[in-house]
Amino acid sequence: MILGRSLRIAAAVLAPLMLLACQTAPVPGLATAGGAAPASSETAVKPIARTGMDVDMAWGGQMRCTAAGCRLVAVEHEKSTLVLYEVQGRQARLLDRQPLAYHPDSAIWIADDLVVAAVENSFSLDVFRVVQGRLQLLRQIPIGISPRDVVLVEASQGRFRMLATPYSGKEVVWVDFMPDQPESATTVTRVQWCEAPWHPVRVQRAPGAPAGGMVAACLDEQRVAIAPSDKLLEPARNLLTVPVPIRVIPRHTRPSPSGRWLYVAVETGGRNLRMNMDSGELQWIAAPQEVGTVSVLPLSDDLVIWGMDSRMFMQRLGDQGDVLETRWLPLDGFATALQLIDADADGVQDLVAYHSAVLPKKMGIEILYGPLWEQARPFKQ
């Protein structure tokens, strides 16, 4: 765990240095990290509209929109804080900032007024109620592991089932929580999955699991694991193994909207991967650059966003995973997490990028206002 932590902290520290190097040594066909247009005969592209939030090392967060507007919650990893923003139109305003134990890693909404933060050093999920724009600690749930991620799996009649996965280690934790009941009503169940199962997500279906289940990239095992919906509280099984003779790191998985494909962001090796969730077929996808990707967000079955350092790439794909077209947009940092949501209520989906490291004087969270593909810049390798 210490070695793994050292390597990942080193990666976070080196990310800004890598971005600065990119500014002095531009990649062919790509603008500098500052967003200048490539040196070519192409007409300059108007910068995409965006809103930034001054959040330090936003390892995780989530925006939630209602008829009253949008609010965003996120953690500041090194500052050990939970922050709450209000987003109205295209303006963001800080509402509150509350301290947490050392190294919070993610934060989610489980209801319009309930927020949960995953905190490493307290081995806990910290539940906050939002009251008049302020975060009030409601409950600290001990879970016995240092959580990297927390996701909401089910919500019904005041009962919330959450899944917490570890920064390192093989144990995940299922938490059944009822905020209006005493602490003794909260149940915690620990289950074996795989080594460092990061960024779990629900899938509609999978080979051998027609009802779907929960999937996570096993960061330290070169595979992806699944807990089928009818066996959630049993040990996870293997869904796919990255088929290469050298070690690569599957970092992040997300299904396409129809559920047909599971996309896998591969942190090393210059290629990404997708799996046909009907047939089990694996397809390699050529990455735009030799460096790896750290996050993925499919917009449709064959249109996908990959997050990287200081940029995101969008690729249109053919039936065999061949790249038909690539476009890109500059970002302020290391895009560890991506979220699609209509943040300005104009009927068009926008992208929220959460950066675990940022360039100096840049924003830790950005909202990029859609349409995304139409405003992205052509990329030529």
Give CA–CA dist 326/309, Å, rounded.
17
| Residue 4 Cα to chain centre, angstroms | 20
Cβ neighbors of 1 (< 8 A, separation 6 or more) are 167, 168, 169
pLDDT for 23 equals: 32
Tens of pLDDT, residues 95-111: 999 999 999 999 999 99
Local confidence band at 381 (pLDDT 50, 70, 90 cut-offs): low
Local confidence band at 39 (pLDDT 50, 70, 90 cut-offs): very low
Mean pLDDT value across the chain: 89
Local confidence band at 45 (pLDDT 50, 70, 90 cut-offs): low
> Does the structure show a pLDDT above 60 at 84?
yes
Burial class (CB in 10 A: 0-12, 13-18, 19+), 3: exposed
Q: Which of these ranges, 1-15, 55-69, 210-224, has the smallest mean pLDDT?
A: 1-15
Better pLDDT: 295 or 43: 295
Ordered domains of the chain (ranges, CATH): 196-381 (2.130.10.10)
**Mean pLDDT score, 213-224:** 96
pLDDT for 195 equals: 97
**Mean pLDDT score, 366-381:** 94
Local confidence band at 289 (pLDDT 50, 70, 90 cut-offs): confident
pLDDT for 269 equals: 84
